[in-house]
Amino acid sequence: MHGASPVLEALARRYERCLAGRTGEATRDVLLDVEELLRDAGADEGDPRAVAEQQLREGEQAGIFRLEPLHKRDRASLHQVRFSPASEFRLYDRLGRPSPRAVRGALSEQFAIASAMPVPERWRGCWIAWCETMRAAAMAGRSVEPFDRRPSPENEKLLALLPRLLAWEGESLLRFASCVLCGDSKTLESLSAPDRDGEFRDKPRGKLGRLLEDITGGRLRALDDLGILPNPRFALVHGPIKLLFEGEWLDFGRLKGAFRLAEADIVRAESVATTACRCLTVENETSFHELAKLQSGTLLVQTSFLGSGTASLLRRLPAGMEYWHFGDSDEAGFEILEGLRATSGRDFQALHMRRGRIPFEQESMGRPTLSQWPFYP
């Protein structure tokens, strides 16, 4: 009789947890206590027990395993099930589903097929080596995260996406690239949701970041590195600053309102100059705009976790300026401050930030009461 059998399913679960079931490497028989097996199957008493014991005897007759009595002369008293890994196929055929070895083989085949997918020549060797590593891990029952441990359509979709990512050229926003590569605007965003890996940058990583790093040996670590950006690369600024292009100064300090400087312009400028004696980065855009209204002469830059555009600007400002950061007084606010120091190379000091302040939001301080530095009493 094929199909559902609680006691055989319990046996399969036990087998799948042991070394032989997980990896296929063990050759020794697996010994299972009958009483524990019956309890695991919910069949240790009454009619369910009688049915389970009959199914065990049928399994023995079919050559799936051997039943060992507590005493050799008492064959009616079942003690252990001796299951050989060589009988794996028979057990799972009886259950009507693929065996662990078949599942591992099908999973490894997904990576083997992926290795033949076209990728740019510069990544070809890395891609083939990575696919082979994943194929071997799947066959040996090792972790294949972030892929499913069983062959699945989701695995196929992710494996088909990776070569297209490696072939991506040019700079585009995340949702546009997602539509081109995945047929919808949300897939890349969900696969690259930021994970807190202790680094102070706004490069989303998630599944795709980790996979790109593994495949390319660290040469690509995020979608940003491919030119696929969650937001345009720019710095939001207010105050006295000039950029030199082809021998002519472009003076943004004449603007009363805040303005955005594209990273490409920050990088290509021949020189960046400011008459301000200090630079103040502001975590929240709401507070940034309130401070910008004061026309204080302080160079204001809005930033939370440091983006590449803002980082490029900070690196081009004079090292001798004072550098301050005004942020929320919570854990994230102080992480942002540490990230500014680490990434920009500037000695940022905290302004109006105090650990344990309740409420911690910088907006809770209200409107600035002073028109000049430091804006609050």
Structure tokens at 57: 């005897």
Spell 172-192 as b/e; 16+ CB within 10 A means b: bebbebbeebbeeeebbbebb
User: Does position 288 have pLDDT exceeding 80, yes or no?
Assistant: yes
Contact 188, 228 (CB under 8 A): yes
What does the DSSP 8-state code read for residue 365? Answer: G
Confidence of residue 305 (pLDDT cuts 50, 70, 90): confident
Mean pLDDT along residues 214-235: 91
Whole-number pLDDT of residue 72 = 65
Q: Are 297 and 276 in contact (CB under 8 A)?
A: yes
At 2, the pLDDT band (50, 70, 90 cuts) reads low
**What is the average pLDDT across 44-64?**
93
Distances (CA, A) of 169 to 25, 129, 228, 340: 44, 23, 9, 30
pLDDT band at 308 (very low <50, low <70, confident <90, very high): confident
Q: In the predicted model, is pLDDT for residue 202 greater than 90?
A: no
Mean pLDDT of 225-246: 93
Read off the pLDDT band of 203 (50, 70, 90). very low
Percent of the chain exceeding pLDDT 90 equals 84
Mean pLDDT of all residues belonging to the chain: 92
**Per-domain boundaries in the chain:** 6-97, 102-229, 234-365
Query: With 90 as the cut, is the pLDDT of residue 195 above it?
Result: no
pLDDT over 70 (residue 323): yes
The distance from CA 31 to its chain's CA centroid, rounded to whole angstroms, is 40
Tens-place pLDDT, residues 330-374: 999 999 999 999 999 999 999 999 998 999 999 999 999 998 999
Instruction: Give me the long-range contacts of 53-62 (CB less than 8 A, separation at least 24).
Output: 53/78, 55/1, 55/5, 55/7, 55/8, 56/7, 56/81, 58/1, 59/8, 59/91, 59/94, 62/90, 62/94
Res. 60 pLDDT band, cuts 50 70 90: very high
Q: What is the CATH number of domain 234-365?
A: 3.40.1360.10
Task: Write the CB contacts of 359 (distance below 8 Å, at least 6 apart in sequence).
Answer: none
Cβ atoms of 278 and 321 closer than 8 Å:
yes
C-alpha closest to that of 229 among 125, 299, 307, 320? 307
Q: Helix, strand, or coil here: 10?
A: helix
The pLDDT, as a whole number, for residue 28 is 87
pLDDT computed for residue 69 by the predictor? 87
pLDDT of residue 206: 84
Strand partners, 66: 82
pTM of the shown model: 0.66
pLDDT at 199 over 90: no
